[in-house]
A and B are shown apart, each in its own frame.
Chain A
């Protein structure tokens, strides 16, 4: 088994502008996802939107701390799941079950260290 991080990218403007019904459907979708893949999920969280982000960058022995994400993009990281899967095909099958109507899922294999 391998671990994959499933990164949920979404259009924050669409998310902020979504009505109650859409948000409710999305939360229910995540609930269903947890239920279906409980055995595979090793962790997962939703993130606050990028205006809540703070970026810390080394700067000649010191650090520069700035407001916002390191890169401004239309679709931003909004949450993630860490899952166990046999191979990439299995990870793709799991990713297809994540509610992603406002963006997409990026699958990143966890690199084995040591």
Chain B
């Protein structure tokens, strides 16, 4: 009998790594997103029991896909008798997209070979990002369906309450069904229109993985990898698009620091404490080339500008060498292209490093009452650092306390407690 802890770890791991593939494969078979989601959740629940008895399968994703699809087909066969729900029908009229040669809607269990199932994750994402859905619903739906995040995790990523997010996701799914939003990758001539939304989704996916909203680990490497994979997939489809190049550059340049963001004990390290010799040189080279290409081919794109900021750090051999004036200049342009309170907060941090902590606090004062930043732990954390640099320790301590109360990431909490302890 396998160790129950190993089983739990394997199921959690399969959830993080395989969710999107399993769900997309089940949607392909069931043509019903809601039903597929139920069946995939059920498959993960069964895995906990079954793997504890029979052992952890060699290919957990294939096991989960088989179980989820079998259950979906069983339920569909019985649907005539149990038609008490409105199915979220997936259109049969889908235009074949990349990796969509085979249509296994007439799926035969006996002949089924999971290696033949095309990767439908892009199809799933394109459906989630349909323009008939509000953008906030697109990203929410993608995190829920493609990443398998719980509603609570999605809510936190968006800085909204859980009931608000639950209602948003339900409404979005209902619209896919009622309006018959097709389940497909749009044809090449429509793809660019879909791109802005898809990029926003991939970017959010990356930021969610880069600093996980909850849990013991700072980074969810699987989400970061998925964002990177999707970025590369999009780039292969649209190699001339400056936004795609910019986003991929941003992901690569930011994630290049992953190994140095915590020390051996898991403590969070600031940019200034990180060992830059351990940054991923290959990712930085690739990222810098993409930034150059993106900036040269397009207007000031949001992601390209963020990547350019990351590039300033990547080019500085040491923290002291960082060109903060250039970072502030780039943030100024970014604030025009993409006005967002979170961007303004990041700009304020750069201002504090270019022009001193008081200038940073002044910049934060302008935005701190923005309702979108309510509950955003990075705001009091940034204030705390600036206050500490000014020697205003009592105010700094209070701000750290607020920040600790607002984060559910244990690594970040530990980091903030450490900063707080240094004041005392």
Is B110 positioned at the interface, with any CB of A under 8 Å from its CB? Answer: no
**B93's contact among A86, A92, A107, A109, by CB below 8 Å, is which?**
A86
Q: Which residues of B contact A90 (CB under 8 A)?
A: 93
Q: Which residues of A contact B179 (CB under 8 A)?
A: 88, 107, 109
Q: Mark B120-132, 1 if CB is under 8 A from A, else 0.
A: 0000000000101
Is B180 positioned at the interface, with any CB of A under 8 Å from its CB? Answer: yes
Shortest CB-to-CB span from A32 to chain B, Å, is: 22
Is A2 positioned at the interface, with any CB of B under 8 Å from its CB? Answer: yes
Shortest CB-to-CB span from B290 to chain A, Å, is: 31
Which of B180, B181, B190 has the largest count of A CB atoms less than 10 A from its CB? B180
Is A62 positioned at the interface, with any CB of B under 8 Å from its CB? Answer: no
Q: How distant is the Cα of A89 from the Cα of B94 in the complex, in angstroms?
A: 10
Is A87 positioned at the interface, with any CB of B under 8 Å from its CB? Answer: yes
Main secondary structure of the interface of A (DSSP, over half): mixed
Is B407 positioned at the interface, with any CB of A under 8 Å from its CB? Answer: no
Q: Mark A78-96, 1 if CB is under 8 A from B, else 0.
A: 0000000011111010000
Q: Which residues of A contact B178 (CB under 8 A)?
A: 109, 111
B93 touches A87 (CB 8 A): yes
B-facing residues in A55-114 (Cβ within 8 Å): 86-90, 92, 107, 109, 111
List residues of chain B with CB under 8 Å of any chain A CB: 91, 93, 130, 132, 178-182, 186, 190
Question: Could you list 16 examples of A-B contacts with CB < 8 Å?
Answer: A2-B180, A86-B180, A86-B182, A87-B93, A87-B181, A87-B182, A88-B130, A88-B132, A88-B180, A88-B181, A88-B182, A89-B186, A89-B190, A107-B179, A109-B179, A111-B178
Other A-B contacts than A86-B182, A109-B179, 6 sampled, CB-CB below 8 A, are A86-B93, A87-B180, A88-B181, A88-B182, A109-B178, A109-B180
Q: Name the 4 nearest CB pairs between A and B, nearest first.
A: A86-B93, A87-B182, A87-B180, A87-B91
